[in-house]
Amino acid sequence: MLRIPVVRWGKPYESLETQKVVHFLTGEPIAEVDQANGAMVSRDLRKADQARKILRSIPVDELIARIKQAGNLFATATLPLGNGTQTPDQFVHQQSATTGLPEQMCRNNMTKNSFVMEKIDTILDALTRGLDLNILARGYGTESRGIVVSYQSQAPVLGAVLPSNSPGVHTLWIPVIALQLGLVLKPGSQEPWTAYRVASAFQAAGIPGEVFSLYPGGHDVGGAILSGCRRAMIFGGEKTIQQYAGNPKVQVHGPGYTKILLGDDKVDQWEQYLDMMVESIYINGGRSCINASSVWASRHTEEIAAALAERLGPIEAKDPSDPSAGLAAFTVEGTGKAIYEMLQNDLKEEGVTDCTAAYGPRLVERERCSYLRPMIAHANSPKCAIATKEFMFPFATVVKCPQEKMIDSIGYTLVGSAITDNTAWIDELGCATNIDRLNIGPIATNRLNWLQPHEGNLTEFLFKSRAYQIADTKLVQA
């Protein structure tokens, strides 16, 4: 069987404890993953400075070239993995088999990750707003306008506690190597695949293994990464967000509560935007934080909800290898049922209508997993609890709300796509601090322009802009 070791600064380590990752439908073991322990992470982190030193010794241009090559290898090459190798097709099958995601979604996510590596120079240009990367590497430098600027790295490595159920999120940490910081990762228990393949592709492209550590393991491993790394990211639910709120060392990625807002000037033409709404709710199995979980409008909301239900309601759970499969399985026992029951409770509230009820049962239970078929609800007021709910399947509430009350009612919104030409409202939306990424116009919420910084800009998280003065004589030498 494929055995995937712990990786400690590039060196494989076989643990006495292993965990089998199994096929979500059959229970057949796919791989045996060695498990680290928290003390190992804490001890290894004392050598984290070495990772940054190694990466800083590689010229930025050279590093970028190697990362681009890694992007190509990630998508096309047979790469070493534990005691075996992995082709791109095997990667897709394995990821689908252990996460319950349809293979076509795994393939799309693979393309997305590869894209970020292959376009790393352009993406970093956007993330840094055009800063010469040598300034980040050196710590200071002179901008084109002749002013000395300095960006100080706040940590030698980025730690990341990765999720098991969203292979799309890896684009958030992949650029870190290009910024010359090492990576300390805890791969998701059901999805070790991406982290290991990225590290393998990087190494195949000539990036030293000593800058990566991969620690599959339990909660103590996650805790050790978050407490031991001066900069770390974690993916989790609302509770995780609250736990790390205000902690400058930890960037939390959780529910997005992404929304589509229809302005009064456009809502009468809502049918024109139906495709965009369906895509925003349904793409990637509704699993991303950038999937829309609600559509807000002041009128026609019943018709919009009915039209969305008509498009999404008939979608069936299909075999993961079926190219038309669009729903991801819940692979943890009881999860699908628990979400379904939670929703049934919300649907009972006065003013809420279950718009997909006519399209057959939503909960599909299989022997070892469950699916939730798309659900659309209508809420006649933002006060209904369901108006601000988000779940990890294609689910959305169409909320009736006057335009002038919308910004105050929507709450936190990772991606807000506002369909309007109303300049006054556009200005208000631009000032709304509860909206992170703002799209003006009928832009599907999932269509991220990679040249725009994503939630929690990585460079701002990892580097601090600071004053740096150099005597004139030194400046000439610099």
Partner 1 sequence: MTTGTTSLAEAVAAAKKRLDQHTYETVQWHFHPSTGSPFWVSKAQELSFDPLTEVREFEDLKKFPSFEDEWLRGGPIERWRPKGLDGKPTFVFETGGTTGIPKSRMVVEDHRTDYELFSETLPDKYFPRGTNWLMLGPSGPRRLRLAVEHLCQFRGGICFCIDLDPRWVIKLIKKGWMEHLEEYKKHCIEQALTILSANHNIKCMFATPKLLEGLCNALEERGQSFADTGITGIFSGGTEFTPQWTRFCIEEFFGGPPEVSGIYMTPTYGNTLMGLACSKPVSAADGYKISYYAPQPRAVTEVVDFDDTNRSVGYGETGRVKLTTLTKEFFVPGFLERDEGEREAPFETYPWDGVSGVRPFHRLASSTTVGVY
User: What's the CA gap between 393 and 1, in Å, rounded?
Assistant: 32
154 touches partner 1 by CB under 8 A? no
Query: To the nearest whole angstrom, how small is the minimum distance from the Cβ of residue 273 to partner 1?
Result: 40
Q: Which of 4, 30, 40, 106 binds partner 1 (CB under 8 A)?
A: 40
User: What's the CA gap between 49 and 56, in Å, rounded?
Assistant: 11
Question: Measured between alpha carbons, how far is residue 232 from residues 79, 161, 241, 276 in Å?
Answer: 27, 8, 13, 34
Q: How crowded is the C-beta side of 171, counted as CA atoms within 13 Å? A: 26
Q: Which of 12, 223, 236, 453 binds partner 1 (CB under 8 A)?
A: 223
Q: Which of 2, 42, 72, 310 binds partner 1 (CB under 8 A)?
A: 42
Q: Which is nearer to partner 1, 11 or 43 (CB)?
A: 43
Query: To the nearest whole angstrom, how small is the minimum distance from the Cβ of residue 228 to partner 1?
Result: 9
Query: To the nearest whole angstrom, how small is the minimum distance from the Cβ of residue 19 to partner 1?
Result: 12
User: Under rule CB under 8 A, which residues in 357-416 are in contact with partner 1?
Assistant: none
User: What's the CA gap between 70 and 79, in Å, rounded?
Assistant: 11
Q: Which residues 6+ apart lie within 8 Å of 310 measured at CB? A: none
22 sits in which H/E element: strand 18-22
Q: What single letter denotes the amino acid at residue 331?
A: T
| Chain center to CA of 381 | 30
Query: To the nearest whole angstrom, how small is the minimum distance from the Cβ of residue 4 to partner 1?
Result: 16
145 touches partner 1 by CB under 8 A? no
In 3-state terms, what secondary structure has residue 206? coil
Beta bridge partners of residue 33, listed in sequence order: 4, 19
Q: Which stretch binds partner 1 (CB under 8 A): 20-28, 41-49, 75-83, 410-418?
A: 41-49
**Token reading at 172:** 């958030």
User: Under rule CB under 8 A, which residues in 99-128 are in contact with partner 1?
Assistant: none
39 touches partner 1 by CB under 8 A? yes
User: Under rule CB under 8 A, which residues in 245-274 are in contact with partner 1?
Assistant: 247
Q: Which of 155, 226, 355, 458 binds partner 1 (CB under 8 A)?
A: 226
Q: Which stretch binds partner 1 (CB under 8 A): 57-65, 73-81, 220-228, 411-419?
A: 220-228
Q: Which stretch binds partner 1 (CB under 8 A): 39-47, 71-79, 133-141, 470-478?
A: 39-47
**What x/- string results for residues 5 through 34 when contact with partner 1 is judged by CB under 8 A?**
----------xxx-----------------
Neighbour count for residue 457 (Cβ, 10 Å): 16
Angle between helices 193-204 and 60-76 (to 10 degrees): 130
Contact 344, 357 (CB under 8 A): no
The residues that touch partner 1, with contacts defined as CB under 8 A, are 15-17, 35, 37-40, 42-43, 46, 220, 223, 226-227, 239, 242-243, 247
